[in-house]
Amino acid sequence: MNLDAKNEMTWCPGCYNFLILASVKKALTELGLDRSKIAIVTGIGCHGKIYDYLNTRGIYGLHGRVLPTAMGIKLADPSLTVIGFAGDGDTYAEGMEHFIHAGRYNTNMTLIVHDNQSFSLTTGQATPTSQQGYKNKAQTLGEFNKPINPVHLALASGASFVARCNARDTNHTIQILKKAIKHKGFSFVEIIQHCLIYNKETSGFDKLMYKIKDNNANMKKAMFLAEEWDYNSKTGKIPLGIFYQERKPTLEEKWQKKLK
């Protein structure tokens, strides 16, 4: 399957978005999905440009509105594999309300968050996952607030598949993406992807990362793992892998039952 779209690449040279794109293409190819049955939705930001480089169906959406757009597509045509690509600003600032409800609704789709802990396209302002003290052009004294923990939040919101990976570890990312796309229900994959230009302080995280064994529906263990890293500290351990997976009725299934 050729997923290449022939548009000019405008990501910065060396940006980890190139690796996310490569992992997504490999995962989709290995799953053997029909290109015309894949619908992608992107937000606005550096991550959103992935829309121009993937030859699938979809919508280049609005900043913060990846989830409602993707959910609408899935409800309109449940035969499609629906994947949303969003930024951390996109998801956890402008789109936060959608993120929390997505876990409850459990639409059969995948949300991939390119988390570079910065609003990068608009030159590096702090997002809800930026570390406390992060200095940027808008906050010259540094970000005052502590970051949120999206993995914890996804678990608390009832998401039925929650995973985190490292953009630089493409082999692991490919495996996680394949499992997320195959999962029946709302799958959330948080990809840690530090920005080479703006939030440079996050560049040393690789040495803190370690891989966990797939955890299934053990919420206590998932919460414990989620709390190992608070997105703020530069010490401690950052678990990667599947934190939680459970088969629950999807939004489409619940709707079908109501219609009968």
Ligand X SMILES: Cc1ncc(C[n+]2csc(CCOP(=O)(O)OP(=O)(O)O)c2C)c(N)n1
User: What residues line the site for ligand X (CB under 6 A)?
Assistant: 43-47, 63-64, 87-90, 94, 114, 116, 118-122, 127
Nearer to ligand X, 87 or 185 (CB): 87
Nearer to ligand X, 128 or 239 (CB): 128
CB of 84 to ligand X, least distance (A): 12
- Which tokens hold the place of 134? 């992060």
| Helices marked H in the chain | 17-31, 50-53, 66-76, 88-89, 96-105, 150-156, 170-182, 219-226, 251-259
DSSP β-ladder status, 161-166 and 238-245: antiparallel
CA dist., res. 183 & res. 201, Å (int):
34
CB of 178 to ligand X, least distance (A): 23
Task: Please name the residues in contact with 59: beta carbons below 8 A apart, sequence gap of 6 or more.
Answer: 39, 40, 41, 42, 69, 73
Residue 89 to residues 16, 58, 64, 144, 162, Cα–Cα distance (Å)? 17, 21, 8, 16, 19
Per DSSP, the three-state class of 114 is strand
The residues pairing with 57 across neighbouring beta strands, listed in sequence order, are 39
CB of 17 to ligand X, least distance (A): 7
CB of 147 to ligand X, least distance (A): 13
CB of 33 to ligand X, least distance (A): 25
Per DSSP, the three-state class of 192 is strand
Nearer to ligand X, 67 or 251 (CB): 67
CB of 118 to ligand X, least distance (A): 6
Nearer to ligand X, 31 or 197 (CB): 197
φ/ψ of 191, rounded to 5, equals -105, 120
CB of 50 to ligand X, least distance (A): 9
Find the helix packing angle between 96-105 and 66-76, rounded to 10°.
Answer: 30
Nearer to ligand X, 87 or 147 (CB): 87
Nearer to ligand X, 108 or 131 (CB): 131
Nearer to ligand X, 114 or 179 (CB): 114
Per DSSP, the three-state class of 59 is strand
